[in-house]
Chains A and B, each alone.
Chain A
Amino acid sequence: MFRGTQSLHEWARFDFFLILIALALVAYGLILIHSGSAVSGGSFTFSFQSPVVRQGIFAIGSVVVMILLSRIDYHALLHYAWWIYGLSIMSLVLLLIVGQTDFGSTRWFDLGIFQLQPSEFTKVSLILVLARFISNSGGDAKNLRTLLLTLFLTLPFLFLVFIQPDLGTSLIFISIWIGMVLVAGVTRRHLIILATFFIALIPFIWTFGVEDYQIERISVVLNAEEDPLDSGYNPIQAQIAIGSGGLLGKGLFEGEQTQLNFLKVPTKDFIFSVLGEELGFVGAILLLGLFLLLIWRGLRAAQFAGDTSGQLLAAGFVTMILFQVFINVSVNLGIFPVTGLPLPFVSAGGSSLLTLFVTLGILESIVIHHRAYRQN
């Protein structure tokens, strides 16, 4: 209670705008989930089976978690970063043993009332451990040893998620690593060496690491019409949905591609197609605009951060959201293979939503506590 007055100041520093944008995205998502799941005409009946209600409940719970997290100094989380890191790896290993397999991929723990997707939370743990490690290694990754060690910290996640197989999340891990080391600072020479190394690695991964269905999905992007009824079906229908939306869309609950079930997984991976069809170019730009604002507020938090670890955390979160948005929307637009990534804040899914609000909570914490660590 000795910090009572300080607490008021902390609330004054709380970034309400950031939360407002996130809630706007969630609300946008709820409407689209409703459209994608409605049986007909957009009428709504309350039921705990309804994906809209479930998403709403997850959102409320996630906001509570976010508020609680924002009150905690993020250094407390960084303090336990290694523990969290270890637990994450164990959960991914456990998942491979007892997890729930759907569509040939093991991504969930079935906890009865809902399914837990641990790879969502492991993204946060990777960001925590990278932020702490880089911060403790002089605050940048210009040292080759630091750079390689950060890569080695990333690889277990990458590997464990890749063999689920979940190509999308693997790409997000890589993106987080690249984003964070770039923000921290690397030498141009190291950058070139690493880039060369990765390019050399691609054929190897293609041959030994990628499943047939993944190759199929990739070749479908290159030529979707090749197999319109099998692996090409979803991306083609998504493109037809978005393209036919035109400038203003066909109107909410009026998209035939969505309402007549031509579009598959319209509340999750392909929710952007629902948006593109029913609300058109304008609706899609509005969504991307909201994401831009969100990224802006995230980068503002990074700017405000009192120390390197805070700044890297914020940068990691922004990178994560940015790439997840990019990959998900690219899949919908037919310029990226189908990877099964949700659209942040918008797609139906509790694990994803909770993870995103956890990152927002930590961002708020960074903003609230930045004065305490600002060193002039």
Chain B
Amino acid sequence: MFRNQRARTTLRNRPRGNLRILWVFTIILFGILIARLFEMQIIHGEEFSIKAENNRIVQTNIAGSRGLIYDRLGNPLVNNTVSFSASIVPSLLPSNEQFRYQIYLTLEKILDLPALEITMQIEKFQETSSSSETLIIARNLSHQQALLLEQSAPDLPGIALEMESQRTYLGGPALSHILGYIGAQSTQEWEQLRKKGYGFNELVGKTGLEAYYEETLRGTPGKAITEINAYGTKIKVLNELATVPGKNIHLSIDQKLQNYVSELLERGRGDATIAAAVVMDANTGELLALVSLPNYNNNIFSSSKRDEEYNKLVTDPNRPLLNWSLNPAAPGSTFKLITAAAALEEGSVTPKTSYNVDSLAYEFLGVDGITYQFFDWRIHGLIDLYEAIAWSSNIYFYMLSCGFPQEELPGLGNDIEQSAVTLSYYARHFGLGTKTGIDLATSESPGLIPTPEWKRRSRSGKNFTASDREWYYADTCFMGIGQGDITATPLQIAIMTAAIANNGKLLTPRLTSKITDLEGNVIEQKSTIFTDVPVSQRSFEIIREGMRRAVENGSASLAKLDDISLAGKTGTAEFVSPDGITREHAWFTGFAPFKSPEIVVTVYFNLGQGNLKASPIAGKIIQYYFNNMRDQ
């Protein structure tokens, strides 16, 4: 019955279908598949194998531990520490834009970094790097942030918590200008450094010794060849190329002296906002201390409050980030030492040449027909060259540099321009007007030695008149006492003083004594570099004697020490401050001991008088040296 029912459902026609067509289909379709398989696996198998390798194998740089920096006595001034960072591998982020932004928003909450900025950073990163590389998006996370990130990272594909090596500086703010700090590369730096094999995320020295000795400290990075899965998780390390740690740098700086000088300047600065001091070996150019105030704490650059603190430093009107020992000011009377040397060499003066300074104010008719008023700071009476140096007579040094025409007293040369050129010639040979070449990356200023030629060149253009360009009688006179357009840095004054002390060796100052490797083997021993100053020994002797008398019973007498004979020269340079009031810079530069000079001390304050403010501090520094450092 069932069968009958079915019979009504379907007609029982004899099958006559064309099954061959399905065989044809099968052969064609399977033929296509096999041909394609053969092409991919047999013909192009190798290429695909390489692609598979590239998929799973990543090569990463392992930064070698950065070299350390030690002071003169071997005290470490810096430590390598670990800090937490947040990293992103762009290629591991979800392709869906909405999900991606969701991740950025989560990061914004944890890192306090706007999601928009994260987006921009990644876009910028992808312009120069392949998106499978790692980008550090935030550094120096607080422990709280690191903990939060570590907990959230598994839900945020492409985001990871990284540990990076950071620097902790142990020397305190007094050493900040010398050591500098490290930081992330700028785009311009990356352009250069990538050619040297740097990774984008590597921290590099930004200023100070960290920057100057970047390649020495960095060492050779290692490489790790790692297998990763599709989510970027490391599965196993396949191969590793060991890192070579960076080399260690040994400074000539004495950490204790550096701190002591820094404290002295801080305590003695009074109304001065800026101060600098140089303590240098008079024969080698090794710096024992190089101080600049105000200073800053370079550990803020590895703190989580980096940006905030950095902004404070940048907006501070006293510019704590600048190393003021390498920045120029009018040298004032310290320059008289060079004027004296020039006059002695040119034969226009002898130690016996005397002048009666019987008034505080003089009127001179210049060769240019203008009447000038010149002042001295004290009625010196009849003085010779020794006394003129000791008491820092302005009138006497005007006589040496520009001469007094109506008294038929010639200056250095036949005319005022030639006098200026001659003076600038000696100034240059004493190291002024050019960089000293100190091993610090901080932008060092060359200072300025004016000449008639310079004045014509620099005062050209619409903003100046012909009389602005003219070289006046007074230009030469003022230059002779270190005033006017002339400027020099405390470090330049220090090497100039050293050249007087050591009979004419103009030293290249340096902060480092040697470079060693991890085992302590000396790789490079720094040597003394100098050029000769074209001044005779006799002239130096005369100048040194003048300086001795300055301390003994002259203008620098506040530097005088009971048991140590020293020589020095003060400087009180007038300048017109931005508010229009004439103020004074305070200088002292000198050396000790007088007989066989060992150290040079130069002290500078942006406000104050050399004899009152700078001299006593220089005396204390020399005292400290003889009490504590002489035997080292």
Contact = CB atoms under 8 A, between A and B. Distances in A.
Q: Do A and B come from one complex?
A: yes
Interface of A: 73, 75-76, 78-79, 132, 135-136, 138-140, 179, 182-185, 229-230, 233, 237, 239-247, 256-257, 260-262, 276, 280-281, 284-285, 288, 291-292, 295, 299, 302-303, 305-312, 315, 318-319, 322-323, 326, 329-330, 333, 335, 373, 375
Contacts of B10: 75, 78-79, 132, 135-136, 307, 309
- Residue among B14, B17, B18 having the largest count of chain A Cβ atoms under 10 Å: B17
Given A292-B26, A318-B22, A302 B17 contact: yes
Contact of A256 (B29, B32, B41, B52): B52
Contacts of B25: 179, 319, 322
Given A136-B11, A284-B37, A243 B45 contact: yes
B15 interface: yes
Interface stretch (B227-235, B340-348, B423-431, B442-450): B227-235
Interface in B31-54: 32-34, 36-38, 40-42, 44-45, 47-49, 51-52
B40 A243 contact: yes
Contacts of B18: 182-185
Contacts of A306: 15
A309 B15 CA distance: 8
Given A132-B10, A139-B14, A244-B45, 14 more contacts: A132-B9, A244-B49, A247-B42, A247-B45, A256-B56, A260-B55, A261-B230, A276-B37, A302-B15, A302-B17, A309-B11, A326-B29, A330-B36, A333-B37
A292 B55 contact: no
A78 B29 contact: no
A319 B26 CA distance: 9
B6 A76 contact: yes
Contacts of B41: 242-243, 245-247, 276, 280-281, 284
Nearest to B54: A240
B201 interface: no
SS of A interface (majority): helix
The 10 A-B residue pairs with the shortest CB-CB distance, nearest first, are A243-B48, A260-B229, A311-B15, A246-B45, A244-B52, A261-B230, A139-B13, A75-B6, A244-B48, A243-B40
Nearest to B25: A322
A176 to B, nearest CB: 12
Contacts of A311: 15, 17, 19
A182 B33 contact: no
Contacts of B95: 229-230, 233
B21 interface: yes
B158 to A, nearest CB: 11
Contacts of A262: 55-56, 229-230
A241 B42 contact: no
Interface of B: 2, 5-6, 9-19, 21-23, 25-26, 29-30, 32-34, 36-38, 40-42, 44-45, 47-49, 51-52, 55-56, 91, 95, 131, 227-231, 235
30 contacts: A76-B6, A78-B6, A78-B9, A79-B6, A132-B9, A138-B13, A139-B15, A183-B21, A229-B131, A230-B95, A240-B51, A241-B52, A243-B40, A243-B45, A244-B51, A257-B55, A260-B55, A261-B229, A262-B55, A262-B229, A276-B41, A292-B26, A299-B19, A307-B10, A307-B13, A308-B14, A311-B17, A322-B22, A322-B29, A326-B30
Given A233-B95, A307-B10, A310-B15, A242 B48 contact: yes
B14 to A, nearest CB: 5
A306 B17 CA distance: 12
A21 B52 CA distance: 33
B16 A139 contact: yes
Contacts of B40: 239, 242-243, 276, 333
Contacts of A326: 29-30, 32-33
Contacts of A299: 19, 22-23
A279 B229 CA distance: 21
B19 A183 contact: yes
Nearest to B29: A326
A242 B49 CA distance: 9
Contact of B36 (A237, A315, A335): A335
A315 B19 contact: yes
A285 B55 contact: no
B37 A139 contact: no
Contact of B16 (A179, A242, A244, A308): A308
A243 B36 CA distance: 10
Nearest to A228: B91
B17 A333 contact: no
A285 B37 contact: yes
Contacts of A230: 95
Contacts of A185: 16-18
A315 B42 CA distance: 34
Nearest to A139: B13
Contacts of A73: 6
B230 A288 contact: no
A276 B37 CA distance: 9
A303 B231 CA distance: 52
- Residue among B10, B11, B16 having the largest count of chain A Cβ atoms under 10 Å: B10
A290 to B, nearest CB: 12
B549 to A, nearest CB: 81
A246 B37 CA distance: 9
Nearest to A322: B26
A203 B2 CA distance: 50
A330 B33 contact: yes
A315 to B, nearest CB: 6
B522 to A, nearest CB: 49
Nearest to B24: A182
A239 B21 contact: no
Given A229-B95, A309-B10, A240 B17 contact: no
Contacts of A310: 15
A183 B22 contact: yes
A33 B440 CA distance: 65
A322 B49 CA distance: 30
A185 B33 CA distance: 27
Given A244-B48, A276-B41, A307 B22 contact: no
Contacts of A375: 12, 14
Contacts of A302: 15, 17, 19, 22
A135 B17 CA distance: 11
Contacts of B16: 139-140, 185, 308
A185 to B, nearest CB: 6
B22 A246 contact: no
A26 B235 CA distance: 32
A229 B100 CA distance: 13
A139 B52 contact: no
A49 to B, nearest CB: 21
Contacts of B2: 76
A184 B21 CA distance: 10
B34 A243 contact: no
Contacts of B33: 288, 326, 329-330, 333
B91 A229 contact: yes
B44 A308 contact: no
A245 B45 contact: yes
A338 to B, nearest CB: 14
B310 to A, nearest CB: 36
Contacts of A244: 45, 48-49, 51-52
Nearest to A134: B17
A284 B35 CA distance: 12
Contacts of B17: 183-185, 302, 308, 311-312, 315
A78 B41 CA distance: 45
A230 B95 CA distance: 6
Contacts of B5: 79
Given A139-B13, A260-B229, A243 B22 contact: no
B126 to A, nearest CB: 12
Nearest to B37: A284
Contacts of A139: 11, 13-16
A283 to B, nearest CB: 10
Contacts of A261: 229-231
